[in-house]
Copies of this chain bind each other. A is one copy, B any other.
């Protein structure tokens, strides 16, 4: 029925994996039967390409459709490669328009055009509508198959209308209410409809709608849907005409992807866009290498800074001992600030008008942290290496933490201002910048205190 605990459910999955590896089709068909669609997807995400195709082919037709819809688009594309042409066309026509668009983005243009041409008219129309919105917008992810109602209709008439669309609408629980020009005037929920008397009109029970613009960024719109806690939120164009609906499970999927991307980029890697175990090693390398190179090139700054102070370093080799410690602490402080501010931006807690407030807060936080760490370092380093070295380390920590927290806190806001993704822009660059600046502060303070 469901996965409750790992030991319980791993067993049938292992049987399937073994049967796939042995190409033992009868055992495989039998072993797959009791698995839920989610479990089949879990197994598919762990198999290599050939084995994935083998497993997919033993699924009965109706289950195959459900499973296919739940797969990430990259794996969908892989599977299509292995199927016969008419199978592909049937599979493609069976998808919801929004899922179809996601898959189209993965396919080579020629294949995509061919598949679109094979669709029934109405399906092609629905798909083309979604394709008209920019990549990354919520228009690309919304559903266009929906039931609407009008202010003058009665509750009974609306319920009847809804009953006719039980099978094809994405949701029947939230009904957008539109006027005669398709302009959104509100929503009614199925719960409202059941609660009202059948002869009352929709105008009497309609509620004001929360809505999102079709051209809005998908992540922003999805977060808004999550925030308002509705099961579905209407999507409108610039004239507030209804063009689609975002259901909460579409929103969940968008947020899941966005969070995966953010986390990847905070640590300087490109998101993989497909399950880890099925991603070829060379693609993992590719997702990381550019960032590593850029960061390493940035880090050559530290080599140059150290070179400038090489004579200082040659004179007091003890100073070299603390370089990784100081540079590391600065990087940590900056990353902490950047992550907090990036998250607050994503959740809409702050906006670009808060630049000064954020800067002052992070300046104070950084000074507090620096004073604390500096005091401890002064005592510890002072006792072991002498109090002049202790003073240099302590003062440097104060300066570096203040600078790092302020810069770290500002960076996501700067990124937002130049319309870059705060998560991409911030953490990796902060480390590089703070490393180099921190070293300069270190040697300037050392020169002043030690009189070099």
Q: Which residues of A contact B (CB under 8 A)?
A: 1-6, 10, 36, 38, 42, 45-46, 70, 162-163, 166-167, 172-173, 190-191, 194-195, 208-213, 216, 224, 226-231, 248-249, 251-253, 255-256, 259-260, 262-264, 266-269, 272, 275-277, 281-282, 284-285, 288-289, 291-293, 295-296, 299-300, 302-303, 306-307, 310, 313-314, 317, 320-325, 327-329, 331-333, 335-336, 338-344, 347-351, 353-354, 357-358, 361, 364-365, 368-369, 372-373, 376-377, 427-428, 431-432, 435, 439
- The answer to whether residues A328 and B302 also contact, given A1-B210, A3-B224 and a CB cut-off of 8 A, is yes
Whether B338 pairs with A267 at a CB distance below 8 angstroms is yes
Whether B303 pairs with A351 at a CB distance below 8 angstroms is no
Whether A264 pairs with B350 at a CB distance below 8 angstroms is no
Q: Determine which of B248, B335, B350 lies in contact with A267 in the assembled complex, contact meaning CB atoms within 8 Å.
A: B335
Q: This chain: how many copies in the complex? A: 2
Residue numbers in B under 8 Å from A376 (CB-CB): 293
Residue numbers in B under 8 Å from A260 (CB-CB): 343, 347
Kindly provide the distance from the CB of A105 to the nearest chain B CB, expressed in whole angstroms: 20
Q: Determine which of B210, B306, B328, B427 lies in contact with A320 in the assembled complex, contact meaning CB atoms within 8 Å.
A: B306
Whether B302 pairs with A38 at a CB distance below 8 angstroms is no
Determine the distance from Cα of A214 to Cα of B130 in the docked complex, in whole angstroms: 40
Q: Determine which of B226, B320, B439 lies in contact with A256 in the assembled complex, contact meaning CB atoms within 8 Å.
A: B226
Instruction: Look across to chain B and name the residue whose beta carbon is closest to the beta carbon of A233.
Output: B2
User: By DSSP majority rule, is chain A's interface helix, strand, loop, or mixed?
Assistant: helix
Residue numbers in B under 8 Å from A351 (CB-CB): 6, 10
- The answer to whether residues A211 and B1 also contact, given A267-B336, A295-B329 and a CB cut-off of 8 A, is yes
Determine the distance from Cα of A255 to Cα of B253 in the docked complex, in whole angstroms: 12
Residue numbers in B under 8 Å from A36 (CB-CB): 208, 210, 228
Lowest 10 A-B CB distances belong to which pairs? A276-B344, A267-B339, A302-B324, A267-B335, A299-B325, A269-B336, A320-B320, A275-B349, A229-B249, A226-B252
